Structure 1
Amino acid sequence: MSTIRLRATIFGIATLACLCLGAMIDPHTTLAAYLIGWITLAAIPIGGLLILATTYLVRRAWTDDLHPVLIATTAALPLCGALFVPVLLGQSLLYPVAAGADVPAFKAAYLAPWAFALRTIAYFAIWSVLAALLARAWGNSARMNRAASITLIVASLTISLAGIDWLESLNADFHSSIYGLLFLSFTLMSSLPFVVGFGLLSARRIRSTRGYGGLFLGTLLLWGYLHAMQYIVIWAGNIPDEVTWYLDRTRGGWQYVTALLALGQFVAPFLLLLSAYVRRDRRWLFSICAATLILRDVEAALLAFPEIHDLNVVLLPFATIAALLFIASAFVLVVARKFSDADGYLNAPAARA
């Protein structure tokens, strides 16, 4: 076992013990923290599926550089599905409909615990099949185009539906037609800095950073646009159940988190990435990737925690850190094992044609 995998195993066991202790103290708070940690890290392979499909349709040397990282990352999709089991078992602690909230009949049926669980299983089964389809298509141009086209259509739809299930339904009264796309942009904003940052750590894998800087800027604009559109639509509609969603994020200290996210996740990187020098410089690009990954957990917390009441504010930060480290350890074990095998795919000459 390599040093990285050994350390990941030790971290995983230690943090799992911490989570079990937290669950004994306050299962409600611990499960809420676990959900945030899971959303933060599961978004990486989920978004990686879309990025992998995109690189198959836009084939250049810089997209080939990302291939082994993306293949290894998407291989973690079955693991992420398995790690969601605690949330499925404790739905009534987090989700109002599972706890018996009074909602319209269709919503009660759609978000019933058994339907919620079946859809989640279906999502990960579909994504895992798509990831395998993309991996097998590598090296054959026609198969790559077909697999990528199917993946972009199916994954975009299912990822949007998953965001509604896992995050939007934390508030039984709130609904936004843009929310599914917001979650899709969340996964892209998680996966892209991870795979680019991972590649930058190994200089030989990233030959030119110019394409990644431009792709990052485009993803950032999509994320900012969708957030702005949801706010404008809800502000114009002035529907109490929807306006309350924003009011909850402008009080109780969440207004500072919202400001941090707006400035740190959009304004600052947007202005930096306008510079051609920053887009070409490895250190600048890696710093932006690292900051973005940290702020993914902040956004996940902002999306979910205001909807979950009666949390233990003392236990919450420790449980969140433990959840992140536990899931990250499991993630590293899978990705590290798959990475060396996936690296061999770069030798397929047909894909470069």
Structure 2
Amino acid sequence: MKYYDIIIVGGGAAGFFTAINSPLNKTKLLLEKQKDMGVKVLLSGGERANLTNIDIIPERDYFGQNKKALISMFKKFNQYDAISYFSNMGASIVEEDRGRMILESGDSKELLAILVKNALKNKTMLKTNSGVIEVKKVLDLFEIKTISGDIFHSEKLVITTGGKSFPQVGTTGDGYQIAKNFGHTILEPHRGLSGLVTITNLSEISGISTNLELKIFSKITKKEIYKEFGPLLFTHFGVSGPIIFNGAVAIGEYINSLNLDEFISSLDFSKIPENEKNDFIQRSFIKENIYVTLDFDLENTPKKLKSFFNLDLENTKINLSLQDYRSWREAKVTGGGVKIDELTNNLESKLVKNLYFAGEILDITGKTGGFNLQLSWTSGFIVGQNIYVGK
């Protein structure tokens, strides 16, 4: 029997930080389904390692159903702690626009190298090509079977598999099924930090960006779902840019907050594959019930936009109806996830002893600009530091 005290499933940012912060005297195994560790880490900040954001206010900058739990987490390990921690591990960090904290080298390979080095230093075994196909608890131990045929046992199990966004790097929602099998509630995963497809064809102004105020509204409640001023990019498919990415998360969180039974009963699923039903529900809801208002700053708006939208001093706003998010392959993070109410303050399952969750799999999603890597550091630190406390 191959036994480890702690097995961590998912070799991304949260998985590494959990391993690094777990007790040195405990045996640790970090499993990754891909042939390389930390593939998504390499993509962070446009491959420039956007480590965190200096200007984080958790209740403002993160989306989730439980703000109280979120605030509590950041009291244990926040952006200043992360900057200090990585500096002590040899990273040189600089601040860029919008509070983004980037490695001075501008190379995410350096960040991954730091994570690998310190995980190994903390005596963590790293194993790739090890996608998990079955997890169960046998008496007091977890039994983990991998696609390569290995069977491992552990006292502690940490799930850090991420969400469903960027499936091309291996994040295909595997962890949700593990959580479900242990009785956990999954708030419906949705695409976050994604562009939004508009019904109006905007290809004529594709590539033009401007700062403006975005407001997102629900036709059902007639209320504002989200508001932010900042850069927006018009594209061949619709709208993109930082404020749209953040707004996409807000839309998904709003949908998850509603009882959609009546709406769902009105939909025709006859031609929809089973694994696409949830996306179909979200797409249908967005198309029927969500629209955005763009309020332009005329003085700084490009002439082509003024002409295209017929803007003038008395008409600075336009409404755009939406069709969908962009694809999962383009979404940078996943909203929804394991319901945090079912976890303790140390992110241990309240349902299954010694089962933990960290990172993007949680029902917490940050804005664009380093907020989601910070969530990985925060949650990984909490799990690693507390996994054997008082036990």
TM-score (norm 2): 0.24
Higher relative contact order (CA 8 A, sep 6+): 1
TM-score (norm 1): 0.26
Higher share of residues assigned strand: 2
